[in-house]
Structure 1
């Protein structure tokens, strides 16, 4: 007994772990993780900007000659006197390194340059057409996720035949070309049935078919990733525990299993935003819809490299930002990851 009593003061003298120190340590770890992710994102953005600049700068032919020929509609040799004003205006007479540094400085200030054809700010041109493309991409992503969740809950974790059917449908949808889906929907629901306008425009009714065109293949792709994780998670012990507590099948599948199954799909959502905006180029052309797609097609046709590079930089920036947000969403969806921050 005396030995045990002697041990009590010794135990009381041990200082407790400071909650503040633990909090500061977790905060520092979180800041390091965030800094690493931001640094990686900035590196990707810088690399894309650099590659875009180099590719457009080393294209065959003199840029001033190309721009002057496009403006006049005549492909003829140009004199130095004709090219001098263009070279001076857009800085083509500077060394390539100087052009690159000036380009980076302008981007840091939010200046995407001037259009080579209209001589308007590229940011203004993009700003005028960015809203329809964003609406199209976000609506398509939301619809794709709605289709994915509904189809996964309906067919995943079921009997072999139902699982096989669900997987087969997802494989077929994921392999459908977007332009083919768009043309098919346009012929059936616009030209024949007349339910939607043939020329989409910016109306709400005209947005439906373009959104479905982008969402259907993406839903198949997201469904493939979600299904495999759903089938794995439904065999985990926590599912058996939830059922033992009396939770119904719908609650188990919707509240517990689906939450784990969404993680791979959330990863793909960051990639999907870039894919949807890129796919909008074709979809907006098929449905004669305003947006960045039409601007990009016109810029490429007119050799307006400033507008092309501005759109590429914007899409890359969006891709980087969305992927950073996805990393934060991980922590909300998967409690196991909260200890990392």
Structure 2
């Protein structure tokens, strides 16, 4: 609990001061942007209304006070409460991230199980595919997928639509690089697990190779990848900024990018705070999943198995 609060405080602090470093005047965003040609009197009135004429430290403390009460403030550029705005975009981004995480897990699992135990050549091929996948930038992969599946073959829409077909390319774009990272971890863990004493015992009891893999080794091999899923979720949310922009998909990523462009500080802080909360929740769920998946017995303080 305390750790989560500290994370939220650190996120709010870093975001607040980072946005302040972006060139431009937030008061201009409130009045329509840099090209609005507003008078100095109007700018001064807006700064006084929103507290922008106060010292930065006072603005920071005021924002922390609002966040502590659950008030995300009011958008400078859109003139609406940040809370409803952010939550209206949250669902689309969560669906995109969770689908991408699921697809990445499936790809990593299939690649790890295929390349393990099939000789040196299979391991080298699997390792090479994982390294290439992990190194692919989202913007390059998204552009390539659009050219291939939309321009050349015409089987999938180049922009995200409201149906399932519109999710395919964005999900694949996010899933493939993540699958490379998870695959490397899972394949290495699976190789170690297959060389462990409990596998030798299972083989001695007459367990088949498939049984050894799926009933014994895979549970041990999946633990490091499950532990990384919390980090992976945060990585997917950050990747959504690029993917949602390229595929014109509504979500937190596009909302954050637009807010940063016009220095809409309340929206930027609100989006980042909601993402941080989602990340903390995902980390807790990941830790719970690791405990449930871990086949090793839990030790009590007295040393006995629970």
Q: Does the CA contact (< 8 Å) of 1:200 and 1:288 recur in 2?
A: yes
Structure 1 window deviating more from structure 2 (230-239 vs 310-319): it is 310-319
1:48 aligned to 2:11?
A: yes
Task: Quote the residue 1:64 is aligned against.
Answer: 27
1:60 CA displacement: 4.9
User: Partner of 1:332: helix, strand, or coil?
Assistant: helix
User: Partner of 1:338: helix, strand, or coil?
Assistant: coil
Task: Quote the residue 1:110 is aligned against.
Answer: 70
Match among 309, 321, 328 for residue 269 of structure 2: 309
Distance between the aligned counterparts of 1:340 and 1:62, measured in 2? 58
Cα gap change, 1:65/1:172 in structure 2, threshold over 3 Å: closer, same or farther? closer
1:236 aligned to 2:196?
A: yes
**Structural RMSD (CA):** 2.0
1:206 CA displacement: 0.7
1:83 CA displacement: 2.7
Whichever of the two has the greater Rg, that structure is 1
Q: Does the CA contact (< 8 Å) of 2:219 and 2:293 recur in 1?
A: yes
Structure 1 runs not aligned, ≥5 long: 1-37
1:137 aligned to 2:100?
A: no
Cα gap change, 1:327/1:168 in structure 2, threshold over 3 Å: closer, same or farther? same
Task: Quote the residue 2:207 is aligned against.
Answer: 247
1:54 CA displacement: 2.2
1:325 CA displacement: 2.1
Q: Does the CA contact (< 8 Å) of 1:201 and 1:290 recur in 2?
A: no
TM-score normalised to the size of structure 2?
Answer: 0.91
Q: Does the CA contact (< 8 Å) of 1:48 and 1:316 recur in 2?
A: yes
Task: Quote the residue 2:304 is aligned against.
Answer: none
Matched residue count: 301
Q: CA offsets, 1:28-63, max 9 Å, x none?
A: xxxxxxxxxx32232222111111122234555553
TM-score normalised to the size of structure 1?
Answer: 0.82
1:277 aligned to 2:240?
A: no
Task: Quote the residue 1:26 is aligned against.
Answer: none
- Alignment map for 1:1-341 (pairs within 5 Å): 38-57=1-20, 59-60=22-23, 62-65=25-28, 67-68=30-31, 70=33, 73-74=36-37, 78-79=39-40, 81-336=41-296, 338-339=298-299
User: Partner of 2:31: helix, strand, or coil?
Assistant: helix
Instruction: Kindly report structure 1 stretches of 4+ aligned residues shifted beyond 6 Å.
Output: none
